[in-house]
């Protein structure tokens, strides 16, 4: 088998370890300390924010318009309507401001 | 027998409810799957290898980083380490979601962790937070379409990659940030949401500027989680233990 093949296999194993590892560590404790539970509850907002925030550094008018519309629609609509609204504004705005 | 039939049809409708929620993810990730396939072949992967990586790793950003480094002839161990670094945030997802799916049989759990991506975690966590159980059928309905489309589109991208039109005009590069912003806002009713978001945003931007990608993700995430850990638990709506 080629080197590429083994890189893919090793990368897949490394990835699976990250996906099961947190659970394996946490499940060793019988009681979850309230502070740990508070930390776990913060995970979605904390991690997902880091996937958006640095993008703001490079965002132009079209991107900002899309994000603002996404935020406004998300206050009322569901995930799908918010996503479609944001994407539509982005594509439209990029036709004008590139 | 009657109860069997009821629970089976319940599982079926749960599955389709999950499928419905998976659709935005399928749409948002499609361009990246095609792009990944095209770039993979461009960087020296065969079509089969591009397909294999999507099928076994199933993590968009890490796959992009992997083929990028591969194209630059970086040492194999460093490529694997980079894939690990980009995917490291899943450790936090794994620790969080474990509480929700601990009642599944072990094989289903093993499979559940395999498809634990960013949207999979966020949508499942939101369901658990709203007081509903996260069942295997629902979870699979949410994850399976994303996986199947991801793998097929990667292979298509590898075969037809050169035909991709202007990705910038189509807004492809910015679809995922839009989707992730929607997910972040979906958690806004959680205690401590705003302080956590501010801490993570500030830390990830600083880390992005100084340490660089992909470490800004783990550093930013740890900053937000630490804030919730350090503040007294009642701020997080967690009852203190006697």
User: What confidence tier does B197 reach under pLDDT thresholds 50, 70, 90?
Assistant: very high
Q: Out of A26-35, B55-64, B107-116, B124-133, pick the least confident.
A: A26-35
pLDDT of the residue at B242 = 42
DSSP letters, B178-205, are: HHHHHHHHHTTTSTTHHHHHHHHHHHHH
User: What confidence tier does A62 reach under pLDDT thresholds 50, 70, 90?
Assistant: very high
> With a CB-CB cutoff of 8 Å, which residues 57-96 of chain A face chain B?
57, 59, 63, 66-67, 70-71, 74-75, 79-80, 82-84, 86-87, 90-91, 94-95
Q: How far is A55 from chain B (nearest CA, A)?
A: 7
pLDDT of the residue at A29 = 81
Query: Which residue's entry shows tokens 């290898």?
Result: B49
pLDDT of the residue at A66 = 94
Mean pLDDT of all residues belonging to chain A: 89
- Could you say which of A8, A46, A53 has the minimum Cβ distance to residue B52? A8
Q: Do A71 and B118 touch (CB under 8 A)?
A: no
Best mutation target among B119, B178, B201, B231 (most A Cβ atoms within 10 Å) is B178
Best mutation target among A9, A30, A32, A39 (most B Cβ atoms within 10 Å) is A39
Task: Let me know: does A59 contact A68? Beta carbons within 8 Å.
Answer: no
Q: Contacts of residue B97 in chain A, CB cutoff 8 Å? A: 23
Whole-number percent of chain B with pLDDT over 70: 92
Q: Do A37 and B125 touch (CB under 8 A)?
A: no
Q: Do B57 and A15 touch (CB under 8 A)?
A: yes
Q: Contacts of residue A38 in chain B, CB cutoff 8 Å? A: 192, 228-229, 231, 233, 235-236, 238
Cα(A74)–Cα(A94) distance, rounded to whole angstroms? 22
Note if the pTM is more than 0.90.
no
In tens, the pLDDT along B116-137 reads 999 999 999 999 988 999 999 9
pLDDT of the residue at B187 = 87
Select the more confidently predicted residue: B162 or A42.
A42
User: What confidence tier does A58 reach under pLDDT thresholds 50, 70, 90?
Assistant: confident
Kindly identify which residue of chain A lies nearest to residue B82, measuring between CA atoms: A11
Q: Do A37 and B182 touch (CB under 8 A)?
A: no
ipTM over 0.85: yes
Q: Do B216 and A50 touch (CB under 8 A)?
A: yes
User: Is residue A84 exposed (0-12), middle (13-18) or buried (19+ Cβ within 10 Å)?
Assistant: middle
Cα(B122)–Cα(B230) distance, rounded to whole angstroms? 23
Per-residue pLDDT at A5 exceeds 80: yes
- Which long-range contacts (C-beta less than 8 Å, at least 24 apart) are formed by B237-240? B237/A41, B237/B190, B237/B191, B238/A34, B238/A37, B238/A38, B238/A41, B239/A34, B240/A34
- Region B52-56: mean pLDDT is 97
Mean pLDDT of all residues belonging to chain B: 88
pLDDT of the residue at B124 = 96
Q: Do B24 and A80 touch (CB under 8 A)?
A: yes
Q: Out of A30-39, A81-90, B118-127, B201-210, pick the least confident.
A: A30-39
Q: What is the DSSP letter of B172?
A: G
């Amino acid at each position: 088998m080629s080197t590429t093949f083994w890189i893919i296999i090793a990368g897949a194993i490394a990835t699976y370890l990250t996906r099961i590892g947190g659970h394996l560590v946490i499940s060793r404790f019988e009681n979850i300390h309230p502070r740990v539970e508070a930390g776990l509850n913060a995970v979605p907002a904390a991690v997902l924010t880091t996937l958006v925030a640095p993008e703001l550094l490079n965002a132009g008018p079209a991107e900002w318009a899309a994000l603002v519309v996404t935020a406004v629609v998300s206050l009322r609509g569901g995930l799908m309507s918010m996503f479609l609204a944001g994407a539509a504004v982005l594509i439209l705005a990029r036709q004008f401001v590139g | 027998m009657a109860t069997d039939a009821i629970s089976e049809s319940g599982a079926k409708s749960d599955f389709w409810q999950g499928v419905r929620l998976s659709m935005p993810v399928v749409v948002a990730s499609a361009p990246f799957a095609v792009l990944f396939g095209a770039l993979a072949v461009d960087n020296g992967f065969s079509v089969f290898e591009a397909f294999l990586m999507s099928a076994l790793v199933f993590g968009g950003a890490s796959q992009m980083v992997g083929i990028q480094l591969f194209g630059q002839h970086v040492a194999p161990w460093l490529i694997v380490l980079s894939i690990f670094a980009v995917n490291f945030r899943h450790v936090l997802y794994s620790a969080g979601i474990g509480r929700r799916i601990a009642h599944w049989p072990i094989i289903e759990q093993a499979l559940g962790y395999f498809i634990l991506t960013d949207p999979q975690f966020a949508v499942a966590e939101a369901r658990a937070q709203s007081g509903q159980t996260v069942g295997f059928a629902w979870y699979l309905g949410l994850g399976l379409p994303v996986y199947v489309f991801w793998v097929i589109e990667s292979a298509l991208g590898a075969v037809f990659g050169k035909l991709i039109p202007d990705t910038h005009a189509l807004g492809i590069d910015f679809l995922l940030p839009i989707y992730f912003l929607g997910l972040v806002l979906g958690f806004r009713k959680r205690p401590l949401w705003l302080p956590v978001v501010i801490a993570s945003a500030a830390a990830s931007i600083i880390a992005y500027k100084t340490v660089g990608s992909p470490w800004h993700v783990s550093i930013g995430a740890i900053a937000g989680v630490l804030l919730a850990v350090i503040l007294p638990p009642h701020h997080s709506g967690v009852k203190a233990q006697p």
